[in-house]
Amino acid sequence: MRGNTISQSSNTNLEAEWSQMLFEGATQMHDVIRLENVYTTYEGEKRPAIRNMNLTVNSNEFIYVVGPNAAGKTTLLETINGLLPPSRGKVYVFGQDVRKNGRKVRCQIGYVPQDFIVDPGEPYTALDVVLMGMYGKIGILRKPDRRDLNKATRIMKLLGVDELANRPMGKLSGGQQQKMMIARALAKEPKLLLLDEPFSNLDIDSRQRIPSFIERLHEENGMTIIIVTHNISEISKRCERIVVMDNGEKITDEKLMERPFLLKELYQILGMEVSSRYGLS
Amino acid sequence: MHVPWSVRRGSFGSGYAVDPLTTALVFSSITALFIGPIADKARLHADVITSIVFPLNMALAFVFLTLSPEVGLKTDVANVLWGSVLSITYPDAVYLTSICATTLALIFLFWKEFFAIMFDRKLAEADGISTKPFVYFIIFLTGFVVTLSLKLVGGLLIFALLFNPASTTLQFSHDMKKIVFLSPIVGAITCVSGLFVSLFLDLPVGSCIVLVSTFVFALAVLLSPKRRRRRQK
């Protein structure tokens, strides 16, 4: 019990320190993301995975993208960070065309892919994987130094996985790997965080703790966050805006302040379970 | 996959007056049957095991060819196909040393980029690494190193030196840095051992190197601590 209190208190200090460090010199920005009439088609496919997508995300926004399977949610995230080039339209992130300056833009984006599971035989430790997230930002010909290592260790401690640092990544459970992937995305101190179904493998305790931690990052540091989920019950109370996608198209894009019953309506439309914490079910 | 078996057909079969087609069928069936279980046991992809079995078949085929008096290969052709470490000249050694030093320097300089790309190319790209130049460079470097290693073990046996030492080390470590450091050492030890085996048994050097390195890999799979289960008390 006492150990827990000490651990919680030291975690609070760490979080404060982390928050301060994370956004040293961060400036207010607008239009973090702008998509203009974007169509993205996978190679060999005729039908675009996302169609006629127009989306503007301002700095400090906390957005959930929801929709059923194959709605185009993952494609949207990968189009934003430039991993998938749009077949039509323009994508700007931090005011830069992603097709032209993709690498530079991606150095500022923390990305957690959906269901990323490492094979048990892969020879990478969890710490290796978390550190790798910073390599693009560190830049070519520079080695990660003590400060980078400290950042990685600190974020792992905050997520409660620091004791697993030297274990092979592939030997960790699905939930532990997911936490490592979140740590990897945060270790690079991103200005924009793109999370694709990031809590799907987490246990009940972590499903409370880790989203709260991410919410705090948003509140205290103004990090722009987009979380993709097909499960409305995962939507945070602090979410400001919800984009609903279906069949590759944006169906709704609403601010919760303007439509407080949106979640309830979504529940009715999409037939998904809404957590009792919203008093909607 | 068909090359070694057809070579084997023309070697073991013709060398020992057995129907070549029957021999080929027997050997290819045995090999094909074992690839899956070995891949599972070694926790490696089936294509890695295929890359280990391929030069093993080639090495055995060449041993059988050497043992059969009525079948022969011209020395020049044999040297390119199977290699001959003893025919390496001083300029060759200089080339090999230079390429070795250059490769090591480049790996040291761009280690973190190679490391991230080896883990997952798409994630590396998402983290802001331009993966294309590094991937193309590795392909180019592999081709270059293979060409310069032709005299050592030959064009067909080079797979053994590419895959066997790394797969052997992988059986004992979960740390990529250790694997990258230890693989060349394992490769060098098996090469020297293969050379001595060749001198002792009067068999082709390249084939002996491959046989020794495959034997060491098999031993590593059997002794690997990764597969040891702890007894529950």
Residue A275 maps to a domain: yes
ipTM at complex level: 0.82
Amino acid at residue number A239:
C
Question: Between B116, B128, B174, which is nearest A107 by CB?
Answer: B128
| pLDDT, greater one: B109 or A255 | B109
Q: Is the pLDDT of residue A196 over 90?
A: yes
Within a domain: B205: no
Higher pLDDT, A79 or B61: A79
Residues in CB range of A181: below 8 A, 6 or more apart: A112, A113, A116, A129, A198
What is the CB-side half-sphere exposure of residue A125 using CA atoms within 13 A? Answer: 18
Mean pLDDT of A257-276: 60
Instruction: Check pLDDT > 50 for residue A1.
Output: no
Is residue A186 assigned to a domain? no
User: How far apart are alpha carbons B135 and B118 in whole angstroms?
Assistant: 9
Q: What is the pLDDT of residues B18-42, one digit of tens each?
A: 666 677 667 777 777 777 777 777 7
The number of C-alpha atoms within 13 Å of B130 and in the hemisphere containing its C-beta is: 11
**Domain tally, chain A:** 1
The pLDDT value given to residue A260: 64
Q: Is residue A78 part of a domain?
A: yes
- Report if residue A75 sits inside a domain: yes
A 10 A CB-CB count for B99 gives 16
Q: What is the mean pLDDT of chain A?
A: 83
Average of per-residue pLDDT across A12-20: 59
pTM of the model: 0.77
In this prediction, residue A16 carries a pLDDT of: 61
* Containing structural domain, residue B106: 86-150
Q: pLDDT tens digit string along A56-72?
A: 999 889 999 988 888 99
Of A136-150, A254-268, B104-118, B196-210, the one with minimum mean pLDDT is A254-268
Residue A98 CB-half CA count within 13 A: 31
Can you give the CATH number for the domain in which A97 is found?
Answer: 3.40.50.300
Neighbouring C-alpha atoms within 13 Å toward the C-beta of A261: 3
HSE-up (13 A, CA, CB side) for residue A199: 23
CA distance A249 to A54: 10
Residue A18 located in a structural domain: no
Classify residue A234: in a domain, yes or no. Answer: yes
Is A132 in contact with B128 (Cβ distance < 8 A)?
no
In chain B, the number of structural domains is: 1
Is A19 a domain residue?
Answer: no
Distance from CA of A137 to the nearest CA of B (A): 7
Residue A12 lies in a domain: no
- Note the pLDDT of residue A19: 55
Task: Name every residue in B having a CB less than 8 A away from some CB of A.
Answer: 43-44, 109-113, 115-116, 119-120, 122-130, 170, 173-176, 179, 226
Alpha carbons within 13 A on the beta-carbon side of B152: 22
B116 found inside a domain: yes
Q: A36, A57 in Cβ contact below 8 A?
A: no
- A4 pLDDT band (50/70/90 cuts)? very low
| Contact criterion met (CB < 8 Å) for A103 and B116 | no
Residue B134 lies in a domain: yes
* pLDDT one-digit tens code per residue, B111-134: 999 999 999 999 999 999 999 889
The model's pLDDT over B71-106, given as tens digits with 9 standing for 90+, comes to 555 666 666 666 677 777 888 888 888 888 988 899
What pLDDT does B69 receive?
63
